[in-house]
């Protein structure tokens, strides 16, 4: 419409300008008829002008209708586009609202987390500040302590110098002492070598003694066997002597009374002979161990006195003192001293003895040599005591293989022990000793 109006008004403006100029010029120059003709011309021009205007108006109407139709279509398109864009905008707004809500929740969570972190950091900062103040106080105390330690270090350095000086002096004294002790140790070593040599010599001597003892042990075993044989013979002799004395003194008994007395006598004789025939390994108490003073309570055993009388010579020879001049020679000859011929002679001397020589011998033995008697002393007889044997320790003399058992058989009758066989109830001693 704006374009049409501009097109419509422009020609009309030009025509009106032309007509106005023409009238002005006509009025000035024309008369009445001319004026009428001019009016006719003006009316004709007006009609033409109205026809042109009507045509122009129709053209404008057609163009306006087309423009209206075009604008209507454009409006419909714009409305459809508006509706579509509005729907999309609403969807976008809803999406943005949802995102806004999620973002707001996330912001709240983040805000809470940040506030918690801020609070924890404030607490940590307060703790760090307090710790810093404590550390500053400790640093001040440590600085004071450091100053004291530096003073102490300076004092200790002075003391160390003094201690070094004293240490050098003590070291010199110790070196002198060590040198002296080294010389003493060398002297002791030489003395130890001499003692070892003496020990070897003593060991060799002990081996020789042990060899002699082993040789003598065989002779002693044979002598014990012979003593047991002769003991049975002596018992028979004692029985005959007892009957003979009974006949002489007029002591007769009936057969019924003689049987128990004979049995008791035999038991007493066996017991006393068992204790009297034991060979000791050390100096025994005395020959009075075979005394019969304590046996009178069971009867008048006169045959025990007969045993003492018969064995007196044998016991006196057995307990004869040995001179301390040559103990090795004595031990060497000891195995030959108790041959069966000599034992037979001793038994005959005991059978022919008429009196019993009651005596007791006290022997003093050498402290280091058990086979040597230093002195003897004769004493009055004393009450009998049980036979006891104290075997000397083999370790004291260094004799190899000289372990000795001290068990003694106290019951009457022969018996075997863990020593040499057939020793009549006595364990074999590897170092026999006479006194």
The residues that bridge with 111 in the sheet, in sequence order, are none
Per-residue tokens: 90: 């609403």
Per DSSP bridges, beta strands 360-365 and 373-379 are antiparallel
Measure Cα distances from 27 to 19, 20, 22, 204, 250 in Å. Answer: 12, 11, 9, 198, 243
Beta bridge partners of 426: 408
Q: By three-state DSSP, how is residue 78 classified?
A: helix
Q: Which residue is listed with tokens 């000397």? A: 392
pLDDT digits (tens, 9 = 90+) for 148-207: 889 999 999 999 999 999 999 999 999 999 999 999 999 999 999 999 999 999 999 999
Q: How far apart are CA 318 and CA 229, in angstroms?
A: 18
DSSP for residue 92: H
Distance CA 332, CA 209 (A): 9
3-class secondary-structure state, position 372: coil
Give the whole-angstrom CA distance, residue 230 versus residue 239: 14
**Contact criterion met (CB below 8 Å) for 56 and 48:** no
Which residue in 296, 351, 347 sits closest to 318, CA to CA?
A: 347
Determine the angle formed by the axes of helices 255-276 and 32-249, rounding to 10 degrees: 130
Q: What is the DSSP letter of 371?
A: T
Q: What tens digit of pLDDT does each residue of 103-121 get? A: 777 888 888 888 888 888 8
Range 373-376 contact pairs with CB under 8 angstroms and sequence separation of 24 or more = 373/283, 373/321, 373/322, 373/324, 373/435, 374/324, 376/321
pTM here? Answer: 0.22
- Could you give phi then psi for residue 375, rounded to 5 degrees? -155, 155
Give the H/E segment covering residue 362.
strand 360-365
Residue 378 DSSP SS3? strand
Our separate counts of H helices and E strands in the chain read 6, 2
Give residue 310's pLDDT.
Answer: 65
Counting Cα atoms < 13 Å in the Cβ hemisphere of 282 gives 19
Strand ranges, E, within 312-410: 360-365, 373-379
What are the residues facing 360 on neighbouring strands?
A: 379
**pLDDT tens, position by position, for the chain (435 residues)?**
343 433 334 444 444 445 545 555 545 555 667 777 777 777 877 788 888 888 888 888 888 888 888 888 888 888 888 888 888 888 888 888 888 777 777 888 888 888 888 888 888 888 888 988 888 898 999 989 888 889 999 999 999 999 999 999 999 999 999 999 999 999 999 999 999 999 999 999 999 898 888 888 888 888 888 888 888 888 888 887 887 778 777 755 544 455 555 555 555 545 544 444 443 333 333 333 344 344 444 444 555 666 666 666 666 666 655 444 444 444 445 444 444 455 455 555 555 543 333 333 444 545 555 444 454 444 444 444 443 433 334 333 343 443 333 333 444 444 444 433 344 333 344 444 443
Handedness of CA 134, 137, 142, 143 (dihedral sign): positive
Using alpha carbons, select from 310, 315, 376, 381 the residue that is nearest to residue 348: 310
């Amino acid at each position: 419409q704006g374009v049409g109006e501009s097109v419509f008004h422009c020609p009309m403006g030009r025509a009106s300008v032309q007509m106005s100029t023409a009238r002005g010029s006509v009025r000035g120059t024309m008369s009445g008829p001319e004026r009428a003709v001019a009016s006719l011309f003006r009316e004709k021009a007006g009609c033409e002008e109205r026809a042109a205007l009507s045509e122009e108006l129709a053209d404008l109407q057609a163009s306006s209708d087309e423009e209206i139709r075009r604008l209507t279509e454009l409006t419909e398109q714009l409305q459809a586009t508006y509706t579509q864009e509005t729907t999309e905008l609403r969807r976008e707004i809803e999406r943005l609202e949802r995102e806004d809500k999620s973002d707001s929740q996330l912001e709240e969570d983040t805000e809470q987390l940040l506030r918690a972190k801020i609070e924890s950091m404030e607490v940590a900062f307060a703790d760090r500040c307090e710790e810093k103040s404590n550390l500053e106080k400790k640093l001040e105390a440590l600085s004071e302590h450091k100053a004291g330690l530096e003073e102490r270090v300076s004092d200790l350095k002075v003391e160390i110098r003094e201690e070094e000086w004293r240490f050098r002096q003590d070291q010199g004294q110790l070196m002198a002492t060590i040198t002296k002790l080294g010389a003493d140790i060398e002297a002791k070593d030489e003395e130890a070598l001499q003692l070892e040599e003496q020990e070897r010599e003593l060991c060799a001597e002990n081996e020789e003694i042990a060899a002699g003892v082993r040789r003598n042990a065989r002779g002693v075993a044979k002598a014990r066997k012979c003593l047991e044989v002769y003991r049975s013979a002596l018992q028979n002799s004692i029985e005959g002597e007892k009957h003979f004395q009974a006949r002489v003194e007029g002591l007769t008994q009936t057969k019924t009374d003689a049987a128990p007395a004979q049995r008791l006598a035999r038991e007493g004789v066996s017991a006393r002979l068992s204790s009297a025939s034991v060979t000791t390994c050390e100096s025994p108490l005395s020959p009075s161990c075979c005394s019969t003073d304590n046996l009178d309570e069971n009867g008048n055993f006169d045959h025990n006195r007969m045993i003492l009388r018969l064995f007196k010579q044998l016991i006196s020879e057995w307990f004869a003192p040995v001179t301390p001049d040559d103990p090795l020679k004595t031990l060497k000859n000891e195995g030959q001293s108790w041959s069966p011929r000599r034992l037979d002679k001793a038994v005959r001397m005991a059978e022919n003895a008429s009196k019993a020589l009651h005596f007791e011998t006290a022997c003093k033995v050498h402290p280091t040599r058990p086979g040597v008697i230093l002195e003897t002393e004769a004493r009055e007889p004393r009450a009998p005591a049980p036979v006891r044997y104290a075997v000397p320790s083999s370790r004291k003399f260094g004799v190899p293989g000289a372990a000795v058992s001290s068990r003694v058989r106290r019951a009457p009758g022969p018996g075997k022990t863990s020593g040499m066989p057939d020793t009549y109830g006595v364990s074999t001693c590897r170092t026999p000793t006479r006194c």
